[in-house]
Amino acid sequence: MATSGAVTFSPDVGEIVEEAYERAGLQMVSGYDLRTARRSIDLILMEWANRGINLWCVSEYTQPLTSGLGSYTASNQSPNVAVSILEAVLRTNPGNVSTQSDYDLSRISRNTFLSIPSKLAKGRPTQIYVDRQQGEIKLNLWPVPNDSDQQLVYTYIRRMQDSGPGGTYDSDVPDRFWPALVAGLAYNIALKNPKASQRVPLLKQIYDEQFQYAAEEDREKSPFRLFPGGYN
């Protein structure tokens, strides 16, 4: 039996929309149909961001520090816009093979940060307050860095990219999430169209199942070993 030998299947946004309309038992007949579907895709991606960590959106950023400056803005240059900070370390003597070291930064709450009486005190930073504002994230270090030969290295979740105009762009999701995206879009299209109202419960069930499958696959897998001997 001969196979294609190809692994190039990669539907663009337009093809995802077409498939979703077909599942909803509808036809895409106007430019508005495409626009409303693209809007639904963008809202679905925002919904996924609220559900938890999506591994393909995790990135790392290195922020050079300035002596005497304790507040920095997290990565906000499109397309690498930070929406959440996962972990942060202070790196001293960066680039020096012999002396470079990373130190964990303790994450503190707004109340704890506000209660610090000497916010301008200098030293090696040991704490970080992540201030999630509308449109940007402020990273506040304490004590304030006393050495410019230091870096703030953090992992963050970036915002998923928009679907884009025209339907010709690829979606900003890995292939394991394509079925969930199509299923979620079909469900949302049916919600907005009375002609497909009878399909809503089934499409919702399929969407939930497909997202669960993808989310279970989208996780870190660490190896483990089982040793004989039982429990003592």
**Any idea which of 34-38, 65-69, 187-191, 227-231 has the lowest mean pLDDT?**
227-231
Please provide the average confidence, as pLDDT, over all residues in the chain: 91
Q: Which of 123, 136, 131, 91 is nearest to 107 (CA)?
A: 131
3-state secondary structure of 63: strand
From CA 47, how far away is CA 45, in angstroms rounded?
A: 5
pLDDT tops 90 at residue 106? yes
- pLDDT of 231 reads 47
More confident residue, 87 or 7: 87
User: At residue 65, what are phi and psi to the nearest 5 degrees?
Assistant: -100, 155
- Give me the mean pLDDT over the 122-141 stretch: 95
Query: Which is it for the CA torsion 93, 65, 113, 129, positive or negative?
Result: negative
- pLDDT of 232 reads 46
- pLDDT of 224 reads 53
- pLDDT of 113 reads 96
What is the longest distance spanned by two Cα atoms in the chain? 75
- Are 65 and 151 in contact, with CB atoms under 8 Å apart? yes
Asked, as a colleague might, if the bond just before 143 is cis with ω within 30 of 0, I would say yes
- pLDDT of 225 reads 55
pLDDT tops 50 at residue 87? yes
From CA 154, how far away is CA 59, in angstroms rounded?
A: 8
Domain ranges of the chain: 13-53+161-217, 57-158
- pLDDT of 182 reads 97
